[in-house]
Amino acid sequence: MDHSFDHHDRSAHSGVPPIDFRASLNDEQFAAVTAEPGPLLILAGAGSGKTRTLTYRVAYLLSKGVRPAEILLLTFTNKAAKEMLHRVHDLTGVEPGRFWGGTFHSIGNRALRIYGDAIGLPKNFTILDADESESLLKQVVETENKLFFKDKTNPKPGPLFSVLSLARNTQKPIDETVERYFPQYSEIKHMLPPFAAAYAAKKRAQDVLDYDDLLELWLELLKKAPDVAAYFANRFRHVLVDEYQDTNTIQSQIVDALAGHHQVMAVGDDAQCIYSWRGADFENLMTFEDRHPGTVIHRIETNYRSTPQILNLANGVLDAQPKGRHFEKELRAARKNGQRPMVVQTIDDREQADFILKRTRNLIEEEGVAPGEIAILYRSHFHALEIQLAFSRAGIPYQITSGVKFFERQHVRDLIAFVQFVANPRNESAWNRIAVLLPKVGDKGAQKIYAAAYDHAKLMQRDFVDALATDDVKTKVSKDAKDEWASFTASLKQISDVMRTGKPESVISTAIDGWYADYMKGEYADYIDRMEELKALIGFASRFDDIEEMLSQISLMNGETSEKHVDVPPDTVKLTTVHQSKGLEFDIVFVIGVADGMFPGRRAIEADDVEEERRLFYVAVTRAKNELYICYPKVATRAGPGGLLLTPSRFITELSPDLYEPLRIKRQFGW
């Protein structure tokens, strides 16, 4: 069947008003938008107008007489699909509801509702939300092994679901997934496949699906029901996929199955593939041509966001990639010259924060830059700890777009509560926070234990922490928590002993190594990252001479900056992880902690797998429009006094020195 366009514009017949595509698009975009149907790979660099290209492609297809129902648009968020289809509506007058457009999951749901009976799925199946999925998994595991969740180092239902979900989406064996992404569960990996099988059987028996089933069963439908697959291939003459570099194994196979006719346009950028830990597979984009013979590649490389100097540095980051393992591309600037990016070496995290604070103040007060146009980007949450402290003290409002502030993160608050309680056993709110972490202990149970310990300590004139370990108090502990009570109270005792004689960093270190570390292993799938964040507290604690001073400082920070207490003005400096910044842009960008072991991270270096980190660095530098500062400390504060000497990131040392300006703080700021 010949799908090529005749180049007579059928917009008059299609009801689509004429659009001057030539005038609306640059040469690269125009070539992609008006390309002959067939397998098309659109490599759209950062800031090059990817969404515009996709939107105009849909409008172009309509102008050529393609009916809305013949176009399938797959995106990663409903927001992206909505925005594109509304823009198409503005251009063409065609209502969004006439297309099949949305996330892979939402389109999978539609397909299964209509044709699921071909693989034995009833039309009235129910979709479980995340809580319901975890609850069902919990029931199944307890039926299979009633002691599994009794061991607090085993994953709770939430983290366990994360492990099984990643294995399903990447179509990798569970043990391989555990070894690579969840090594804290290595010793029990053999127990998980039977749980996964029992969970799948239970869902089938109840006619319920979880979110991952929407993809797995849609792919099964396309593979096992040839007539349904043929219907879709016939119906959707054009398949368009946004952010193709983020597809996982199942999503890529779904696209291939739907586009058996190879009338597929995949839009993406291999240099921005940064989500392998969520299941995204870099190879999907790299092998697209193998699966779709005759692929025509279009490169969209004109960048409207950044100055030529920032783009020269971004191109330098990509030039350092291993040859043959990526698509060659070079961002070209549409803008006039600006200043070269600055590489700023500071003594430690504190001086780095001080430099950023002073430069930020200068930008806002002297140069008239809006606070919301300034972003501070980092690889991991704890890298921004000193910045948060400096900004809080200086009264500069900031917003963490990647979630809650460091000291408000759940595991950080838990750990601080252990220390707060030992420092002041009258602090009942700190006690309640840690006591309810015990199995089956709620607020009432926590209060009952506290009252018993208080009475016993008073009566026997004992230290409150010592009183907790006595038999009199243990009788008030619920039977589910009794097994853990000894290690829980022993941990509090260790913190108490160190607090009498040791420095704040020793107290924090002792708290991290105690009962709470085992609790975290079962509570959080991203246990390893969270442990790194807690260890960053050791360096923070080393700044203080006594624990009270440190706890006061943390309370003040939380009191002043917590969004529960203070309305953060909308126009505030943004602090965000690089992952969260993807797709955003700012006039001024500071990338911090760009030292080997921080960015790229230590684990990536040890695994000899830094390419995704390099792509992440590329995403970071391409967020900047006018000014870019790449900062790194010479000493890692988190190693405590004496520190640990750091070297600048390989992502800096690989660059040609003429791409940036080294900034010597003393000369610039007179320190």
pLDDT per position as a tens digit, 572-599: 999 999 999 998 999 999 999 999 999 9
**Strand-pair category, 238-241 with 71-75:** parallel
128-171 residue pLDDT tens: 999 999 999 999 999 999 999 988 899 999 999 999 999 999 99
Higher pLDDT, residue 542 or 511:
511
Taking the C-alpha atoms of residue 192 and residue 168, their distance in angstroms, rounded to an integer, is 13
pLDDT at 643 over 80: no
The answer to whether the annotation marks 653 as part of a ligand binding site is no
The answer to whether the annotation marks 50 as part of a ligand binding site is yes
- What was the pLDDT predicted at 324? 78
Residue with tokens 């593939």, as numbered in its chain: 273
The answer to whether the annotation marks 469 as part of a ligand binding site is no
The answer to whether the annotation marks 229 as part of a ligand binding site is no
The answer to whether the annotation marks 306 as part of a ligand binding site is no
Mean local confidence (pLDDT), 24-34: 96
Cis peptide before 600 (omega within 30 of 0): yes
Mean local confidence (pLDDT), 73-99: 90
Cα angle 623, 629, 634; round to 5 = 130
pLDDT at 509 over 50: yes
Taking the C-alpha atoms of residue 243 and residue 620, their distance in angstroms, rounded to an integer, is 17
The answer to whether the annotation marks 307 as part of a ligand binding site is no
547-562 residue pLDDT tens: 988 888 887 776 544 4
pLDDT band (50, 70, 90) for residue 402:
low
Taking the C-alpha atoms of residue 434 and residue 427, their distance in angstroms, rounded to an integer, is 11
List the structure tokens of 292: 């779709």
Give residue 37's Cα distance to chain centre: 35
Burial (CB < 10 A; 0-12, 13-18, 19+), residue 526, is middle
Residue with tokens 């006595």, as numbered in its chain: 470
- What was the pLDDT predicted at 9? 46
pLDDT at 671 over 80: no
pTM here?
0.88
**Strand-pair category, 302-303 with 398-400:** unpaired
List the structure tokens of 536: 């960053």
62 near 91, Cβ under 8 Å? Answer: no
List the structure tokens of 208: 């319920």
The answer to whether the annotation marks 47 as part of a ligand binding site is yes
Taking the C-alpha atoms of residue 306 and residue 626, their distance in angstroms, rounded to an integer, is 6
In the chain, % of residues over pLDDT 70: 93
The closest of 85, 23, 27 to 51, measured between CA atoms, is 85
Provide the CATH number for the domain formed by 408-560 in this structure.
1.10.486.10
CATH topology for 314-404+566-664 is Rossmann fold (3.40.50)
Least confident of 181-185, 196-200, 274-278, 523-527: 274-278
- Close Cβ partners of 51 (under 8 Å, ≥ 6 residues apart): 80, 83, 84, 87, 242
Least confident of 222-236, 362-376, 469-483: 469-483
- What was the pLDDT predicted at 562? 41
Residue 608 has a CB neighbour count (10 Å cut-off) of: 7
Question: Quick one: three-class SS letters along 262-275?
Answer: CCEEEEECHHHCCC
Taking the C-alpha atoms of residue 125 and residue 558, their distance in angstroms, rounded to an integer, is 45
List the structure tokens of 282: 């870099």
Taking the C-alpha atoms of residue 309 and residue 164, their distance in angstroms, rounded to an integer, is 45
List the end-to-end C-alpha distance of the chain, in Å, as a whole number: 73
Residue with tokens 């807690």, as numbered in its chain: 534
Mean local confidence (pLDDT), 461-487: 86
Residue with tokens 């409903």, as numbered in its chain: 78
- What was the pLDDT predicted at 669? 45
Q: Within 75-225, where are the H helices? A: 78-92, 104-115, 130-144, 157-170, 174-181, 192-206, 211-224
Taking the C-alpha atoms of residue 72 and residue 301, their distance in angstroms, rounded to an integer, is 26
Give 632's strand partners.
Answer: 345
238 near 129, Cβ under 8 Å? Answer: no
In the chain, % of residues over pLDDT 90: 69
Q: What length does the chain have?
A: 671
Handedness of CA 144, 149, 151, 154 (dihedral sign): positive
Higher pLDDT, residue 587 or 538:
587
- What was the pLDDT predicted at 403? 61
List the structure tokens of 559: 């009191």
612-626 residue pLDDT tens: 999 999 999 999 999
pLDDT band (50, 70, 90) for residue 462:
confident
The answer to whether the annotation marks 15 as part of a ligand binding site is no
Taking the C-alpha atoms of residue 331 and residue 53, their distance in angstroms, rounded to an integer, is 16
pLDDT band (50, 70, 90) for residue 16:
low
List the structure tokens of 323: 């040859």
Amino acid at 436: V
- Close Cβ partners of 444 (under 8 Å, ≥ 6 residues apart): none
Higher pLDDT, residue 458 or 366:
366
- What was the pLDDT predicted at 117? 93
Task: Quote the DSSP letter at residue 599.
Answer: T
Residue 78 has a CB neighbour count (10 Å cut-off) of: 13
14 near 71, Cβ under 8 Å? Answer: no
> What mean pLDDT, rounded, does the chain reach?
90
- Close Cβ partners of 472 (under 8 Å, ≥ 6 residues apart): 452, 456
List the structure tokens of 448: 């009952």
- What was the pLDDT predicted at 460? 81
Provide the CATH number for the domain formed by 24-117+214-300 in this structure.
3.40.50.300
Least confident of 118-127, 399-408, 488-497: 399-408
- What is the Cα Rg of the chain in Å? 28
Cα angle 499, 505, 506; round to 5 = 50
The closest of 198, 212, 59 to 129, measured between CA atoms, is 212
Taking the C-alpha atoms of residue 379 and residue 578, their distance in angstroms, rounded to an integer, is 6
Mean local confidence (pLDDT), 512-537: 92
Taking the C-alpha atoms of residue 601 and residue 617, their distance in angstroms, rounded to an integer, is 11
Taking the C-alpha atoms of residue 524 and residue 184, their distance in angstroms, rounded to an integer, is 10
Residue with tokens 């597809």, as numbered in its chain: 247
49 near 29, Cβ under 8 Å? Answer: yes
pLDDT at 482 over 60: yes
The closest of 107, 115, 64 to 240, measured between CA atoms, is 107
Ranges assigned E (strand) in 236-370: 238-241, 264-268, 296-300, 302-303, 332-333, 342-346
